[in-house]
A and B are shown apart, each in its own frame.
Chain A
């Protein structure tokens, strides 16, 4: 068994066993996903009416999120008290109650066990003893909070309120996007061939954006030379990076002879796909925000989306994308969001590479659990700043991860 000690350098080194170890994976499920953190569950817009429900995940744990007949939100483990089967099989819908198909045990919208089939037997025969307590194995119920249309849940009674958990550095950046009631445009799943942390680490890596994703630089649309910055919460857990809407006129990439240098040859023939309206009124072209452990909110021009990171084993991750607009969007705005959907997702002009790059890391480190990645862009600190040529938010992820994992 490998000695799992962190390199002496601290957060500027991330040992590769963190992406490879089954025991680490199991501990993460308990200490992080089922621990004192808030996990994104769904959008409130997916639960528009009383009695509606969706199914989702907190780490490996299947979860049902409901709106009860009075309108209150609930979330509970999608596991029957009896034999552990999934209680709710549909991805979404509306239900009076939830009945496990296996033996017809039934639950209310809050996940309380309300009836056990033939509990008293039939005609005095069979059934459970009077002192049986099947409720003792009832599905776990989560604390639920929603913030401007995003629904989060936690199994922890200790973790602070959601707003306190997110903190004053990141909260205003979240609220900045969620200014009106939301409308779902659709969803899909991208399956990534890598550990879930490699995706979070990629999202927080502001340095890679214009070097890996050549679309913006090749077509001279967005570069690190544009004004922007990064915010990191003091515990390192959450981050937000943004870029302002100024077209680049510089030649920093050409001078450095970078692969992503622009060229006069490359111009989009039909740039409508990029037409942005400054709907939030602050001149921000792109904002990427992440909350520990597995939530990303993006505003890429007028494309808005929630990304939920769902671990599926040490080397497999599902990324559940839900793209949305505002309920009062007109036809032109919906068209804009649909065209800009081309930028994101598995076929996204500026996102398709992420799954490939993080998969390359998973494959590249296969023989070196004892070696570590070098994360020294911007030094060794974890702090907000106005440069994106930094790995400060990546170091933040590892500070937070080590805190929860006690490594």
Chain B
């Protein structure tokens, strides 16, 4: 019984290991130059270590299996054979030399990769994005020299293929870490200190990132989604984000807006074009265009929005969003209003 269980768990582990190859959140499936360099370095380390491991294990096994010349009756060897001693010491010296050369090569490779990863910082006209870490969501601001061209959103990035991106990272509470494995390594967000880094998405697709520095109760549900798309699609998205969302047209949406503007929502959230302009929680101006809610931990659909508004503490215990009580029709109207913020 015990044995079948352990066998089963090995199979499950193997499946998990295989399943993690490829996918939208994977450092070994690079979609950018820097992640590509890191991936190459990782594989070099992996193969060097694998070869060294196999050699060491093989020598160990050989040493175990080799017949010993001495048995319990033979006399202890008081004067070692000088020729054999010389041979053994040469082998040891050689092995130390090879180890030094291998380690030194790896170090140089690591240095070179580090420099290559930082080389993009000289790129011209990058997209500038300021990301502010909060417990437990990401505030995203696309910065433009013209203030009216700024975009404010949360937990989701849209980027054009092949254009460098400059991220300015900061935090309002504790240390977070921005990790988009398909593009780059981890960079910390430190309260009171702005960190900057560059990356360039080279392949279209949807990728996921995650906070990589333990930051409290909902650290695991502090995720974000990145959509890399063609230049035209990006321009279209950006133009839409700069617009004020259309005012509600039918009575249901109007009722929803009324509820939104007169209840607790406006204490933390902002919707452009209305009186709601608080900056404590995520900006909801174009929430209907986002694919996820609750920091990319749930799909943005009608029922999820409803549960999220009424009982967020069940989905993300400890989250700053309070529980709310609404009559069924009111909740429906509120969610319908949110679903039309495009």
Genuine A/B complex? no
Query: What residues make up the interface of A, taking CB atoms closer than 8 Å to B?
Result: none
Query: What residues make up the interface of B, taking CB atoms closer than 8 Å to A?
Result: none
